Amino acid sequence: MLDFFTIFSKGGLVLWCFQGVRGPAATAPVNALIRSVLLQERGGNNSFTHEALTLKYKLDNQFELVFVVGFQKILTLTYVDKLIDDVHKEFRDKYRNEFQQKGALGLLNGTFDFKDDFMRLLRDAEESSKVQAPTVMKTFEQSLKSQKTVKCMIETRGEKPKEKVKNKKNKGSKKDGTEAVAAPSKASAADKQLSAAGVKEELTKDEILQKNREEFFRRHMKAGEKSRSPKPDAQKEKGKKPRVWDLGNSNAKVLDYSNSATNGSAEACPVEEFDPDMALGDKNREPGRLYDLEYESDDEAEEEKVVQNSSKPSVKKGGLGGMFGMLKGLVGSKSLTRDDMDPVLEKMKDHLIAKNVAAEIAVQLCESVAKKLEGKVMGTFTTVTSTVKQALQEALVQILQPQRRVDVLRDVMDAQRHRRPYVVTFCGVNGVGKSTNLAKISFWLIENGFSVLIAACDTFRAGAVEQLRTHTRRLNALHPPESHGGRTMVQLYEKGYGKDAAGIAMEAISYARNQGFDVVLVDTAGRMQDNAPLMTALAKLIAVNAPDLVLFVGEALVGNEAVDQLVKFNKALADHSMAQTPRLIDGIVLTKFDTIDDKVGAAISMTYITSKPIVFVGTGQTYCDLRSLNAKAVVAALMKA
Ligand code: GDP
């Protein structure tokens, strides 16, 4: 039934392998598991699907081993978890001495004659699953329902059932401030007891809903309290500032678009007077350089405080204060257990959620860290908190540095060599900053000596073409043809409103090819991720024009909503594409990063879910407010207390 079972070291040495009769070679699926899960810090779940196979795995962090079993995903093998646990235990026990005494050499030179043991364990596991299979139904008298019925009858007569009284109290607690805090926690404690007694199944739907709501509010209140820590004034002053367009002419003449077939050429878009300093933002920057995202990380003192705070419980437990208490937090050569880590992980999870990381992802991340650390022998003078924190920090940096790096300048030069324009399509919902960031990217490309054709393919939103026209004018004013050897560095290609966007993009690309433009930036209409006809149109635009880069623009401001948008855009592009191998999103432009203070969780959630790199980060409303992602800066902001 199994396709394979393999045991290898984290260093990549295969120690032992069982190959099923019909199964495919283990190499490709195991390599995929290593690449997509183990190296990408996505180990929260111990199962992985590769083509027709399901892979389950277990890590032994003490001896740095990985146990992987593979079987056809259409099979439901209930014994696999038990098998993997049993094999892990037996293999460890059998070769423990070899690993402990010889270390890495033990792995290299060891002979692992494990076939008989494995076959025995496999047989046992299969047998145990067969024995458990038929479950005899309980009689009514045996079931808890019979007891409940009697109880209910007694309670409803004299007084209201406890559960209902409690729920009412909670409803009323909205008005009563003192009860508001106490009630949910009492309720959840009582509920825990109920579920422990196995009565949970008897709760009505409403009661379960109410219970979940209370649990949710309780958690949120906790997270809220933590995030409400006072901030320095300088930070408070940050936030969204209204945009002031000194060229944002409300003059009807300028907005009159009846004379449209201009293609945004320099002559048709006369350069207007405006304050270049304001449009540029930072005057002291190096032209053409895409700066890394900066972040002032916390000072060491604050970090220390976190470590000490979280090791406090161990101090209290032992009843030893001062130096001894501190030493108790040091685990020395002890190997880490789940119980050691759980309180720290719980805190980390709440912290991540408070920083806007999607709750589900925060849980998976902590689970992945736990799996990676469980059984690991800690160094002397290290606390559990600092070990967990460091592992989490490493995992976060890893997530933000996805496998595929997008180097736009290199790719543009490559396209230049092939005498064709490099095409980038921008997509996303309305108002996230597509046009603004498209203009910033144009500016950056121009400063790097590349000419840009902007294709106005948002033929839907009133003012979209005019917005791009204004940007084109400004960019031309900042980089007039005179400073580029008579060459017009940016032009707008537009055909007005209501026309087919895919067709306009196609015309723009061929226009750019004929006119020798280096880059075509295609602006598309904002659309909601659930709007099927508009998503089909976008999939068509992308399929027909085969851009080099499809960028999803999402704002950091909305946090988890941006994750939902990204996932649905990606899925919609796959579902609505006519091609066999659909073109999906290649990278992310994360905008409005300047408005979120240190709640940078959306960056983690977006890259974790899709493995897409964040190619650009928008940090304001001037042309210079464009950055590349600096994983360490984001992680520092995320870990900041
Ligand atoms: P579109 O509908 O997606 O094309 O969005 P726009 O480009 O019209 O931008 C919507 C609003 O977001 C405008 O007011 C922009 O100035 C603003 N905006 C865009 N990017 C950023 C950014 O990185 N930071 C801030 N603070 N505002 C931004």
Query: Is 542 found in the same domain as 431?
Result: yes
Instruction: Mean pLDDT check: name the lowest of 175-184, 289-298, 486-495.
Output: 175-184
- Residues 443/472, Cβ–Cβ less than 8 Å: no
Query: Is 457 found in the same domain as 389?
Result: no
Minimum-distance ligand 1 atom for the alpha carbon of 625: 23
Per DSSP, the chain holds a count of helices (H) and strands (E) of: 25, 13
pLDDT of 435 higher than 50: yes
Number of Cβ atoms within 10 Å of the Cβ of 461:
14
217 lies in a domain?
no
92 lies in a domain?
yes
Residue type, 275: D
482 lies in a domain?
yes
What gap in Å lies between CA 293 and CA 628, rounded to an integer?
Answer: 6
Last residue of a domain, one of 190, 213, 230: 190
Instruction: Mean pLDDT check: name the lowest of 25-39, 71-85, 179-193, 504-518.
Output: 179-193
Question: SS3 for 635?
Answer: helix
Proportion of the chain above pLDDT 70, given as a percent: 68
What gap in Å lies between CA 171 and CA 158, rounded to an integer?
Answer: 22
Q: What is the pLDDT of residue 12?
A: 81
What gap in Å lies between CA 593 and CA 326, rounded to an integer?
Answer: 39
Please give the distance, rounded to the nearest whole angstrom, from the Cα atom of residue 620 to the centre of ligand 1: 8
What total of structural domains would you count in the chain?
A: 4
Exposure of 172 in the CB half-sphere (CA atoms within 13 A): 8
Please give the distance, rounded to the nearest whole angstrom, from the Cα atom of residue 244 to the centre of ligand 1: 12
| Ligand 1 lining (C-beta closer than 6 Å) | 240, 243, 428, 430-437, 526, 591-592, 594-595, 618-621, 625
178 Cβ contact list (under 8 Å, min separation 6): none
Band of pLDDT at residue 242, cut at 50, 70 and 90: low
Query: Is 391 found in the same domain as 330?
Result: yes
Band of pLDDT at residue 46, cut at 50, 70 and 90: confident
Q: What is the pLDDT of residue 289?
A: 85
Question: Which residue reads 């950056």 in tokens?
Answer: 444
Comparing 156 with 339, the larger pLDDT belongs to 339
Instruction: Mean pLDDT check: name the lowest of 173-177, 207-211, 387-391, 475-479.
Output: 173-177
Comparing 629 with 25, the larger pLDDT belongs to 629
What gap in Å lies between CA 467 and CA 456, rounded to an integer?
Answer: 10
Comparing 196 with 51, the larger pLDDT belongs to 51
pLDDT of 152 higher than 90: no
Number of Cβ atoms within 10 Å of the Cβ of 279:
21
What gap in Å lies between CA 592 and CA 605, rounded to an integer?
Answer: 16
Query: Is 43 found in the same domain as 21?
Result: yes
Comparing 611 with 148, the larger pLDDT belongs to 611
235 lies in a domain?
no
What gap in Å lies between CA 567 and CA 606, rounded to an integer?
Answer: 8
What gap in Å lies between CA 16 and CA 9, rounded to an integer?
Answer: 10
Query: Is 163 found in the same domain as 27?
Result: no
Band of pLDDT at residue 264, cut at 50, 70 and 90: very low
Query: Is 153 found in the same domain as 117?
Result: no
Query: Is 472 found in the same domain as 590?
Result: yes
| Global confidence as pTM | 0.66
20-34, 128-142, 228-242, 445-459 — which one is most confidently predicted on average? 445-459
The tokens describing 589, both together, are: 């432009």
pLDDT of 132 higher than 70: no
Query: Is 395 found in the same domain as 412?
Result: no
242 Cβ contact list (under 8 Å, min separation 6): none
Mean pLDDT of the chain: 77
Total length of the chain: 641
What gap in Å lies between CA 13 and CA 104, rounded to an integer?
Answer: 10
pLDDT of 94 higher than 70: yes
Please give the distance, rounded to the nearest whole angstrom, from the Cα atom of residue 436 to the centre of ligand 1: 5
Band of pLDDT at residue 142, cut at 50, 70 and 90: confident
pLDDT of 70 higher than 60: yes
Print the SS3 string covering 502-551. HHHHHHHHHHHHHHCCCEEEEEECCCCCCCHHHHHHHHHHHHHHCCCEEE
CB burial string 537-571: b at 16+ within 10 A, e below? bbbbbbbbbebbbbbbbbbbbbbbebbbbbbbbbe
Q: What is the pLDDT of residue 446?
A: 96
- Residues 455/522, Cβ–Cβ less than 8 Å: yes
> Among residues 346, 330, 339, 345, which one has the least CA distance to residue 375?
339
Residue nearest to atom 17 of ligand 1 (CA): 433
Question: SS3 for 4?
Answer: strand
Q: For residue range 354-407, what is the model confidence (pLDDT) as tens digits? A: 998 988 889 999 998 998 888 888 776 678 888 899 999 999 998 888 667 789
Band of pLDDT at residue 134, cut at 50, 70 and 90: low
Q: What is the pLDDT of residue 465?
A: 94
> Among residues 526, 436, 514, 12, which one has the least CA distance to residue 245?
436
Residue 6's beta-bridge partner residues? 17, 68
Band of pLDDT at residue 609, cut at 50, 70 and 90: confident
204 lies in a domain?
no
Phi first, then psi, for residue 427 (nearest 5°) are -135, 165
Q: What is the pLDDT of residue 414?
A: 96
Residue nearest to atom 21 of ligand 1 (CA): 592
Q: What is the pLDDT of residue 310?
A: 43
The CATH number of the domain holding residue 623 is 3.40.50.300
Q: What is the pLDDT of residue 194?
A: 38
Query: Is 392 found in the same domain as 413?
Result: no
**DSSP code of residue 34:** I
Query: Is 57 found in the same domain as 157?
Result: no
What gap in Å lies between CA 47 and CA 167, rounded to an integer?
Answer: 39
485 Cβ contact list (under 8 Å, min separation 6): none
Band of pLDDT at residue 22, cut at 50, 70 and 90: low
CA–chain centroid gap for 168, Å, is 39
Largest CA distance in the chain: 95
Query: Is 359 found in the same domain as 476?
Result: no
Instruction: Mean pLDDT check: name the lowest of 147-156, 341-350, 369-378, 403-412.
Output: 147-156
Please give the distance, rounded to the nearest whole angstrom, from the Cα atom of residue 524 to the centre of ligand 1: 14
213 lies in a domain?
no
Domain span at 462: 408-639
Band of pLDDT at residue 76, cut at 50, 70 and 90: confident
537 Cβ contact list (under 8 Å, min separation 6): 501, 502
164 lies in a domain?
yes
Last residue of a domain, one of 400, 433, 459: 400
Pocket test for ligand 1, best of 436, 461, 469, 527 (most atoms within 8 A of CB): 436
> Among residues 598, 555, 591, 627, which one has the least CA distance to residue 235?
598
Q: What is the pLDDT of residue 187?
A: 41
Q: For residue range 560-580, what is the model confidence (pLDDT) as tens digits? A: 788 889 998 998 888 887 777
The CATH number of the domain holding residue 37 is 3.30.450.60
**DSSP code of residue 453:** E
Last residue of a domain, one of 334, 366, 400: 400
373 lies in a domain?
yes
Q: List C-alpha distances in Å: 389 to 309, 357, 585, 641.
A: 13, 16, 32, 12
> Among residues 406, 374, 343, 294, which one has the least CA distance to residue 636?
294
Band of pLDDT at residue 333, cut at 50, 70 and 90: low
Band of pLDDT at residue 53, cut at 50, 70 and 90: confident
Pocket test for ligand 1, best of 529, 555, 621 (most atoms within 8 A of CB): 621
Query: Is 434 found in the same domain as 396?
Result: no
Please give the distance, rounded to the nearest whole angstrom, from the Cα atom of residue 243 to the centre of ligand 1: 9
Q: What is the pLDDT of residue 383?
A: 84
The CATH number of the domain holding residue 359 is 1.20.120
Comparing 35 with 615, the larger pLDDT belongs to 615
Proportion of the chain above pLDDT 90, given as a percent: 32
